[in-house]
Amino acid sequence: MPIRTRMFVATAVAFMLAGCSQQYVLRLSNPEQATAVVLFDNGKDSESIDDDTLVILDEPRDITKVATFFESRSGQWNRLKEGEAPPMQHYTVQFRKGDKVTDRFWFENNTLCLKSPDGTYYTCDISERERAQLLNSFRFNSTTKQAAK
């Protein structure tokens, strides 16, 4: 096999493998597959549960708004190297279908994280404005339900 053909095949395989790992990221937070979105705020003091907050969104338009936030960043996810640990968890966002968690994201400061079903970690940098936008999706909303602490 000529070297050009081998290079083309190797490039095509690498592209397809990269596309496969990205495919999971693209399918995350599908609003048709979620009946609720939950935000867990670990509070300022990780040692205490007194300042923990749980916010549940169960209206389709609210779920879609949060899902759109994640889907708009589908091309910005970076795969972490084997053994690298993602940041600590201050906020956790879970997409749920009934009692089952379908997708789970977490973030600390301006880094979004996720873990694919095969155990691969991904991160995505977001700005302060984007972080505030995501958090505001769970606040001051007429359909927001806050669970007891």
Give this prediction's pTM. Answer: 0.71
Q: What letter does residue 29 receive in the DSSP assignment?
A: T
pLDDT greater than 50 at residue 8: no
Q: Element (H or E) spanning 112, and its range?
A: strand 111-115
Which H, E and C letters describe 46-107, residue by residue?
A: CCCCCCCEEEEECCHHHHHHHHHHHHCCHHHCEECCCCCCCCCCCEEEEEEECCEEEEEEEE
**Which region among 74-78, 101-105, 115-119, 138-142 has the lowest average model confidence (pLDDT)?**
138-142
For 11, 65, 74, 116, the CA distances from 69, given in Å and listed in that order, are: 32, 7, 9, 18
What is the rounded CA–CA span in Å between residue 145 and residue 54?
8
Q: Which two tokens stand for residue 41?
A: 């705020």
CATH architecture of 3-146: 2-Layer Sandwich (3.30)
65-100 pLDDT per residue, tens: 898 898 888 888 888 888 888 888 889 998 888 888
30-70 pLDDT per residue, tens: 556 788 899 998 876 555 556 678 899 988 889 888 988 98
Q: Are 92 and 106 in contact (CB under 8 A)?
A: yes
